[in-house]
Amino acid sequence: MKENQYRIGELAEKANVTRRTIHYYIGRGILPPADGAGAGATYSDEHLYRIMLVKKLQEAYLPLDEIKKRVVGLSLEEIKKIIDNNYLSDGYINNEANSTKMQVSDAEAEPWQYNSSIAYERVLIGLGVEIHFPGEDRKARKLVESLCKYAEKIMKEG
């Protein structure tokens, strides 16, 4: 299936941002460059979805540098899942693909120190529910994986 193509004005209107904002995001490396240059430059659905995700993260008061860290490595499918499932809370991304596998990437994990020797990971389950667990504890990771799968099942049914 062919992706939609937009001129900058069309993309700006669809995403409810200014042309200048789009250029700024591209300059900061938050968005990929347009296909082509000048008046013939076109933008895709990927640009649109990335802007939508950036706006959601801005609503969670994340600075652009942090947003860039969290969105640059995501595929279009991952971005769509995040937006469609509204897995955003307190500015953290719960990437559905990774939450199922429970291999939390650096972009998603926010380790914090409970004491000087144990680093914890923070995983968003959804609907404002999150779990903190010792990142190096394999038993805890397996338990969190099971909890995430069960929570996902409940949310789909509910």
Do 61 and 24 share a structural domain?
yes
Question: How far apart are the two ends of the chain, measured CA to CA in Å?
Answer: 31
Residue 122 covered by a domain? yes
Residue 78 covered by a domain? no
pTM for the full model?
A: 0.56
Structural contact between residues 53 and 83, judged by C-beta atoms closer than 8 angstroms: yes
25-84: pLDDT as tens digits: 999 899 999 998 888 899 999 999 999 999 999 988 889 989 988 888 888 998 998 888
6-22: pLDDT as tens digits: 999 999 999 999 999 99
Q: What is the DSSP letter of 75?
A: -
Do 103 and 39 share a structural domain?
no
Q: Say how many domains are in the chain.
A: 2
Per-residue pLDDT at 96: 34
Residue corresponding to tokens 């000048």 = 38
Of 31, 65, 70, give the one whose Cα is nearest residue 51.
31
End residue of a domain, out of 72, 96, 127: 72
End residue of a domain, out of 72, 95, 130: 72
End residue of a domain, out of 72, 98, 117: 72
